[in-house]
Amino acid sequence: MTDVILLMEDDASGRQLAAFNLKKAGYRVIEAETGEEGLRALEKEVPDLVITDVKMPGMSGIDVLRQLRQRKVDLPVIVISAYADVAPAVEAMKLGAEDFLGKPFSRDHLLVVVEKALSRRRMAKELDALRRAATGVERPIIHRSAAMTTLLAMTDRFAASDATALICGPSGSGKELIARRLHAQSPRALQPFVPVNLAAIPATLLESELFGHVKGAFTGAVADRIGRFRQASGGTLFLDEIAELPLAAQSRLLRVLQEKVVDPLGSDAQESVDVRVIAATNRNLPDEIREGRFREDLYYRLNVVQLNVPRLADRPEDILPLSQHFTSLFAKGRSLAISDELHAALLRHPWNGNVRELENVCRRLVLLAEGDVLRPGDLPFGDSEDTGAEGRSMLPVTLPDDGFSLMDLEKQVIVRVLAQKSWNVSKTAEHLKIPRHVLAYRMEKYGIRKPD
């Protein structure tokens, strides 16, 4: 991938010459005449390296460095200054500049300094990735659909922020995987990730579990307990099933989010906490607010960033790769193939339990498999085509009560019939009773590709 360099220099001839040399060396260059223009460019695209002149009209290179540090933008910065003007360059280095270029500089000197800075950045990123992997927090997210690709891109974009996040989606769709990814891609990745399933904790113990208690605070409190907030100090606290939190506990949670302090039960002392909170729910929280079961102010405090995980039925392209992943995982060395008939049957199923249901079905298929090919006969829900002959619906999908997109429905139907016909476009078009070129157009429109 081509490295991108943001070059800020008010001297047009000097900027154009440097940009020419950098482009000739294979870099992509974004040019800015002022510091303000450079910061605006940063809002549209994050480069791999920033080169800025120290002295520019308006916002100086020193001001640019301060802005980058305030915004917590982790980018190597090379400053340009006249050799005689040492003081600003020294100040820039104290603010975290990576290196210094004295005017005038040669092409070779420019390229050596740039490559050295980029090499250090690559090594730092690789080391950071290894450290994140070593924590074991992140789990693989198997996907092929455009919907999941978009969701993961949004997740990665929000990861660097400390803002609270709300992950919405049906049960079994993978909300905790998204939360783990948010943490693993964030600056907090090497700190604790503490998941809490609020639905699994008795209401009488919730506040103690979250905020902690001191010895003797209540009957049975035989020792101090720090609570999940302080356990996650410096890292991320994942509150799953947030809609299950009682109103009294919601009020305390709101105060913690606002004040960044917890009050352990039975203690007069407040404890500061530095925690990013990620919440998840399978319920419609605006409906819960209208019914008086969820605080509106807490909803807005949590919903700074919202990530919506789609149902498995809404991303049929992911069913085959997920099935292959799970069967390979459970087969433990056995080589098992998924037949076209089984793939078609899996596509026809509504998957009300989403990915968790698919995982359990794959476990069953592996356990019952007698040969090397998995077939639909071992499915727990059976497999019968909807023909309409016995009064059943002819629709090959389940229609949700809360409405649906007609375009999504058309895409799902096409994908399912393609799978039934082993991705033979002519047979699929015949089955759908449309010309082949119309089907080819629809496939191109929806980005439908045959799985590898």
Give the CATH number of the domain where residue 199 resides: 3.40.50.300
pLDDT the model gives residue 390 = 37
State both tokens at 151.
């969701």
pLDDT the model gives residue 394 = 47
Examine the fold and report which residue of 132, 158, 186 is the final residue of a domain before the chain moves on. 132
The answer to whether residues 299 and 317 belong to one domain is: no
Burial 6-39 (b: 16+ CB within 10 A, else e): bbbbbeeebbeebbebbeeeebebbbbbbbbbbb
The answer to whether residues 84 and 154 belong to one domain is: no
Examine the fold and report which residue of 278, 308, 338 is the final residue of a domain before the chain moves on. 308
The answer to whether residues 178 and 65 belong to one domain is: no
Contacts of 15 (CB under 8 A, 6+ apart): 7, 9, 31, 33
Query: Does 172 reside within a domain?
Result: yes
Q: Note down the domain range covering 85.
A: 4-132
pLDDT the model gives residue 398 = 54
Query: Does 154 reside within a domain?
Result: yes
The answer to whether residues 87 and 151 belong to one domain is: no
pTM over the 0.95 mark: no
Burial 292-329 (b: 16+ CB within 10 A, else e): ebbbeebbebbbebebebbbbbbbbbbbbebbbbbbee
Q: How far apart are CA 186 and CA 139, in angstroms?
A: 15
DSSP H helical ranges for 272-405: 285-290, 296-302, 319-331, 340-348, 354-368
Q: Are 103 and 64 in contact (CB under 8 A)?
A: no
Structural domain count, the chain: 3
The answer to whether residues 167 and 73 belong to one domain is: no
Look at residue 101 and give its three-state secondary structure: strand
The answer to whether residues 215 and 159 belong to one domain is: yes
Query: Does 452 reside within a domain?
Result: no
Query: Does 436 reside within a domain?
Result: yes
Report percent pLDDT > 70 for the chain: 93
The answer to whether residues 298 and 162 belong to one domain is: yes
pLDDT the model gives residue 387 = 37
The answer to whether residues 424 and 442 belong to one domain is: yes
Examine the fold and report which residue of 77, 107, 132 is the final residue of a domain before the chain moves on. 132
The answer to whether residues 24 and 153 belong to one domain is: no
Residue in this structure with the two tokens 């496939």, named with its chain if needed: 443
Query: Does 328 reside within a domain?
Result: yes
Query: Does 140 reside within a domain?
Result: no
Query: Does 47 reside within a domain?
Result: yes
The answer to whether residues 322 and 427 belong to one domain is: yes
The answer to whether residues 301 and 188 belong to one domain is: yes
Q: How far apart are CA 367 and CA 381, in angstroms?
A: 16
Nearest to 77 by CA among 90, 95, 59, 60: 95
- Can you list the residues of the chain whose pLDDT is less than 50? 384-394, 396-397
Residue 182: its H or E element? helix 175-184
The answer to whether residues 292 and 150 belong to one domain is: yes
